[in-house]
Amino acid sequence: MREVEQSAELVQCTPDADWLLERIARVCYNSEDRMRCDCPDGRCLRCRKRRDGFLAGLRRRGHESVFEHASATFRLVTDRGITHELVRHRLASYTQSSTRYIKYDGGVPVVRPLFAAADGEAAWRAAMAAAESAYLAMLAAGSPPQEARDVLPTCAAATIFATANFREWRHILRLRLAMDAHPKFRSLARLILAGLSPRCPAYFAGLEEEI
Ligand SMILES: Cc1cc2nc3c(=O)[nH]c(=O)nc-3n(C[C@H](O)[C@H](O)[C@H](O)COP(=O)(O)OP(=O)(O)OC[C@H]3O[C@@H](n4cnc5c(N)ncnc54)[C@H](O)[C@@H]3O)c2cc1C
Ligand SMILES: [Zn+2]
């Protein structure tokens, strides 16, 4: 058994997303000429502040389709239970590691629980050892990985690429940062939020405090 940490690597994001979103939204008001002050490209501090205010106003008024024009892809490492919850979000695209094809003969990777009850750890460790030993025994007996996987635990680690537009990411984060979300998903959502916040602060920064 190998313990791995959850992670969220931002592998792709619409370049200059907040500038693009302002440009797109301004078509509604025929005000593209207000994209910049007397600076050359609308990227001075003053323009960035104005842009943040403009985008925050769109969000407050529910003019959110604008935020569908920017997207981001994350490489997430989490467990099977959490990827199962993640893929319920339908307005996104996913590709994840396959327990049918991958043979964990070097040890089963797992993401440990957050252990609300510290005394649960001993029972969890015993179950992990039993599951891994059964998995390896099945492989040794000639079972293919797609059969041996039937004894893997829900906390078996998985890598998943997830691509969604900003509106859908914000929706996912709102649901999965909430107190009633799974603690592992909450902690993964915080990592995703940290990747997105600098890309469009007006839309993502402060989201956790809002919930
Ligand atoms: C705390 C928590 C507990 C949960 N518990 C369970 C559980 O016990 N069992 C279970 O099965 N699921 C459970 N879920 C999953 C939940 O029911 C949703 O399937 C999941 O959160 C995906 O969210 P979504 O449907 O809002 O959005 P997405 O699929 O991310 O879609 C985004 C939005 O698009 C719109 N949309 C998408 N598809 C449609 C459609 N077909 N028709 C109309 N509008 C659409 C909706 O406005 C939706 O909110 C739980 C989720 C959370 C956060
Ligand atoms: Zn400027």
Catalytic residue (choose from 51, 167, 170, 176): 176
Question: What is residue 117's predicted lDDT score, i.e. its pLDDT?
Answer: 84
Given the CA of residue 85, which atom of ligand 1 is nearest to it? 15
If one counts every other C-beta atom within 10 angstroms of the C-beta of residue 156, the result is 24
Residue 36 neighbours by CB distance under 10 Å: 17
Element (H, E) at 202: helix 201-204
* Mean pLDDT computed over 10-33: 95
> Would you say 51 and 128 are in contact if contact means Cβ atoms under 8 Å apart?
no
State pLDDT tens for residues 166-187: 999 999 999 999 999 999 999 9
Among all ligands shown, which has an atom nearest to the Cα of 48? 2
Residue 116 has pLDDT above 90, yes or no: no
154: which 2 tokens? 């829900």
Cβ atoms of 191 and 45 closer than 8 Å: no
In sequence order, which ranges of 95-165 are alpha helices (DSSP H)?
120-140, 145-148
Report yes or no on whether pTM surpasses 0.85: yes
Cα–Cα dist 145/135, whole Å = 9
